[in-house]
Amino acid sequence: MTAWLAALAAITQREALRFIGQRGRFVAALVRPMLWLVVFAAGFRAALGLSITPPYATYTTYEVYIVPGLCGMILLFNGMQSSLSMVYDREMGSMRLLLTSPLPRWWLLVCRLLASTAISILQVYVFLALAVIFGIRFGWGGYAALLPALVPAGLMLGALGLALSSVIRQLENFAGVMNFVIFPMFFLSTALYPLWKMAESSALLRDICAVNPFSQAVELIRFALYQQQNTAALAWVLLSGLVWLGLAVWGYDPARGLIRKAAK
Amino acid sequence: MTHAAKSLAALALSALLAPAAPLVAAEIWVTNEKDDTISVIDIATLEVVRTIATGERPRGITFSKDFSRVYVCASDSDTVQVLDAATGKILHDLPSGEDPEQFVLHPNDRHLYIANEDDAVTTVVDTETRKVVAQINVGIEPEGMAVSPDGRIAITTSETTNMAHWIDTQTQQLFANTLVDARPRHAEFTAGGSALWVSSEIGGTITVFDTATQAETGKITFDVKGVHPDRVQPVGFAFTEDEQTAFVALGPSNHVAVVNTQTLEVEDYILVGRRVWHMAFSPDKSLLFTTNGVSGDVTVIDTAKRQALKSIKVGRFPWGAALRP
């Protein structure tokens, strides 16, 4: 058991070191949602009084509505970033070192996932602290209730990144991930507009948004910020998280997975 | 007295007392202009507990001093209706003149001062004899009505003439007219009666007058971030108990302004539903209920935290609000 924990500690430490070493990445991860909050949301100020849907009990301004979506954005980008660094590790050969460990591969992947999620969560809280400067604050209970929501949401999006990283063989392909995964996931979700707004455009669009796991992660975060539980969203996040993780474990299995196919 | 007789007496006593102390929670009554109804909101649960039918286009609403009766301006029925507050039944109509929109009950609990929008008159009705006591010619399209706490002065504001008309309630004659900004819609004396505030919808201001001299002493302007100034249209407003703060409904800007009554500066803007008209406090003034015409709901504001807590769906186009403690 100690070996398992040692692996977790080592991988977490490595992620933390990488995180500290790449201060630019930390700043970038904060600048992105801050730009959305300050510039994009400001343009929508006139669209005041977004219609009331749970968990809101009254009207909200757009910049308050968008905050949970931007928290989700941090988790999503970090999950993808982590997948990018997996590809980098593979290219540089440090992954081979990791994979020679006698521990089961799924555990190594889970360690990796936990470490990157912890860093994402840290970034989300820093972002929320910055949002306070712009007058967007939630209750203390909301900030506390957010933590248990960020963990499954972060793990799920991280697992998606892992699953993708098992397919991506070159760093250059990351642009494809941006185009075909991050952007559709983010824009076809409830991060920017509530479902009823999507329904005004088309029912199909609304349905796509509703089944998008990223939407469910955002809704989980949104409800938590108002100290409410969204069981359906939680179940959906956990289910999709397990599916991504399963795919990642399969993908990294040298006997069956995509690594083998890639080697062929 | 035997034991049996004692318990009988106790039983009889409790039976007598029971109906005398009904456990009625405080309520906010809201008139729905389009639905011709009143929605009654329970302040404890913040939910609509019943809906009462009224005449056509109910707007102004106020209770008698003992809260046993409620007066409603049924504008399109050209009448003021009197309802039993306990049962919600319409008792009778009062002659009101044409198109009554707002009114105010004199502190004597007897005389209603009613603004007749289409007739350019203010009608004074005796609620006991149900007779018109006086009709006072005022400016065009009278709307806002107020009466000083000592009952000596009544105010009518006229939307088109852009004036506040000062009525001596002894003689039922005008004794002063003061200009305000475009389309004055609501007037209110401060609790002590030393100042009069008049909101101007198109002008986008509130003008403050000294009651004794009828001289203008200040003007409040509003600036809601991200909202075009044309949409900032002050209408109804209300003062807190200590008179330090006023809450002002800003119409289609969908905000309520929090004004410091000493400095006349706006300290906060609170987002509410669409086209906010009027408002009423809970008994301890910790909650404020605003009627949002276009969105058809009532927003509940925590007055201490200056935060909107909840919006409650009511009928179509809610307009007036009154507290029944």
Quick: pLDDT tens for B70-83. Answer: 999 998 888 999 99
Which residues of chain A are within 8 Å of residue B228 when distances are taken between CB atoms?
46
Percent of chain B beyond pLDDT 90?
A: 81
**HEC-encoded secondary structure of B127-154:** CCCCEEEEEEECCCCEEEEEECCCCCEE
Supply A191's token pair. Answer: 């991060």
Average confidence (pLDDT) over A47-63: 75
Interchain pair A60, B300: CB under 8 A: no
How far is the C-alpha of B52 from the C-alpha of B314, rounded, in Å?
12
Which residue has tokens 């769906």?
A: B313
Q: What is the 3-state secondary structure (H, E, C) of B62-130?
A: EECCCCCEEEEEEHHHCEEEEEECCCCCEEEEEECCCCEEEEEECCCCCEEEEEECCCCEEEEEECCCC
- State how far the Cα of B125 lies from the Cα of B113, in Å rounded to an integer: 7
Beta bridge partners of B126: B111, B131
Say if residue B14's pLDDT is above 70.
no
Helix (H) or strand (E) holding B59: strand B58-63
Cα-based angle A163, A244, A35 (whole degrees, multiple of 5): 75
pLDDT for A27 beyond 60: yes
pLDDT on residue B33: 94
Q: Does A257 score more than 60 pLDDT?
A: no
pLDDT exceeding 70 applies to what percent of chain A? 91
Question: Which pLDDT belongs to residue A256?
Answer: 62
- Which one of B254, B273, B311 has the shortest CB-CB distance to A57? B311
Q: Model ipTM?
A: 0.72
A227 touches chain B (CB under 8 A): no
| C-alpha dist (Å) from residue B229 to A1, A223, B232, B252 | 67, 34, 5, 10
Q: How far, in Å, are A53, A193, A207, A223, B166 from residue A199 at the CA level?
A: 14, 10, 8, 21, 54
Lowest mean pLDDT, pick from A26-30, B164-168, B320-324: A26-30
Give pLDDT, residue B117: 83
* Closest residue on chain A to B231 (Cα): A46
| Cα–Cα separations (whole angstroms), residue A139 to A48, A136, A192, A233, B88 | 22, 10, 22, 22, 40
Does any CB of chain A come closer than 8 Å to the CB of residue B45?
no
Q: Assign B13 a pLDDT band (cuts: 50, 70, 90).
A: very low
Range with lowest mean pLDDT among A29-38, A95-104, A105-114: A95-104
Classified as helix, coil or strand, B157 is strand
pLDDT for residue B17:
45
CA distance B292 to B202: 18
Strands (E), B202-313: 205-210, 216-221, 237-239, 245-249, 255-260, 266-271, 276-281, 287-292, 297-302, 307-313
Instruction: Supply the pLDDT for residue A51.
Output: 66
Contact yes or no for A14/A112 (Cβ under 8 A): no
- Distance between CA A74 and CA A41 in Å, rounded? 16
pLDDT number for residue B324: 94
- Name the residue among B227, B274, B308 with its Cβ closest to that of A58: B308
Q: How far apart are CA A145 and CA A148, in angstroms?
A: 6
Chain A within 8 Å of B206 (Cβ-Cβ)? no
Which residues on A lie below 8 Å from B225 (Cβ)? Answer: 45
Chain A residue closest in CA terms to B253: A48
Cα distances (Å, whole numbers) of residue B198 to A132, B100, B124, B230:
36, 19, 21, 18
pLDDT tens per residue, range A143-158: 999 999 999 999 999 9
Phi/psi zone of residue B306: left (φ > 0), alpha (ψ -120 to 50 degrees), beta? left
Q: Which residues in A lie closer than 8 A to residue B295 (C-beta atoms)?
A: 49, 59
Q: What is the pLDDT of residue A1?
A: 61
With beta carbons under 8 A apart, name residues in chain B contacting A60: 271
| B310:A58 CB<8 A | yes
Evaluate the CA torsion angle B63, B64, B65, B67 in order and state its sign.
negative
Q: Are strands B27-32 and B37-42 parallel, antiparallel or unpaired?
A: antiparallel
The listed range with the strongest mean pLDDT (A45-54, A169-178, B9-18, B260-269) is B260-269
Q: Is the peptide bond before A55 cis (omega within 30 degrees of 0)?
A: yes
Residue B162 pLDDT > 80: yes
Could you tell me where the DSSP H helices lie in A93-212? 94-99, 105-133, 140-165, 174-177, 183-187, 195-201, 203-211
Question: Minimal Cα distance from B311: which residue of A?
Answer: A58
Return mean pLDDT, chain A: 84
Instruction: Report yes or no: A5 at the B interface, CB cutoff 8 Å.
Output: no
Mean pLDDT of B293-304: 94
Identify which of B225, B228, B273 has the shortest CB distance to residue A49.
Answer: B273
Residue A42 — pLDDT band, cuts 50, 70, 90? confident
Average of pLDDT values for A61-79?
90
On whether any CB of chain A is under 8 Å from the CB of B290, the answer is: no
Please indicate whether, in this complex, the C-beta atoms of B310 and A48 are within 8 angstroms of each other.
Answer: no
Q: Specify which of A30-39, B11-20, B186-195 reaches the highest per-range mean pLDDT.
A: B186-195
CB B218 within 8 A of CB B224: no
Length of chain B: 325
Question: How far, rounded to the nearest angstrom, does the alpha carbon of residue A245 sit from its chain's CA centroid?
Answer: 14
How many angstroms away from the CA of B254 is the closest CA of chain A? 8
**Kind plus residue range of the DSSP H or E element containing A42:** helix A41-43
* pLDDT tens-place string over residues B20-66: 434 458 999 999 999 999 999 999 999 999 999 999 999 999 999 99
Q: Six-digit token pair at B158?
A: 């006229």
In chain B, what residues touch A58 (CB-CB under 8 Å)? 271-273, 299-300, 308-311
What is the predicted pLDDT for the residue at B256? 96
Six-digit token string for A132? 């306070």
Residue A127 contacts residue A27 (beta carbons within 8 Å) = no
Segment 117-176 of chain B within 8 Å of chain A by CB = none
A-B C-beta contacts closer than 8 Å: 40
Q: Is B254 on the interface with A (CB under 8 A)?
A: yes
- As a whole number, the mean pLDDT across chain B is 90
- CB contact (8 A) between residue B308 and residue A59: yes
How far apart CA A190 and CA B202 sit, in angstroms, is 38
Query: Do the Cβ atoms of B271 and A49 come within 8 Å?
Result: yes
Q: What is the pLDDT of residues A189-231, one digit of tens each?
A: 988 888 887 887 888 988 998 999 999 999 999 999 999 999 9
Decide if A59 and B272 are in contact by the 8 Å CB cutoff: yes
Tokens of B110: 């007897």
Q: Does B273 touch chain A (CB under 8 A)?
A: yes
What is the nearest CA distance from A10 to chain B, expressed in angstroms? 47
CA dist A108 to A15, A170, A240, A243, B51, Å? 13, 21, 20, 17, 63
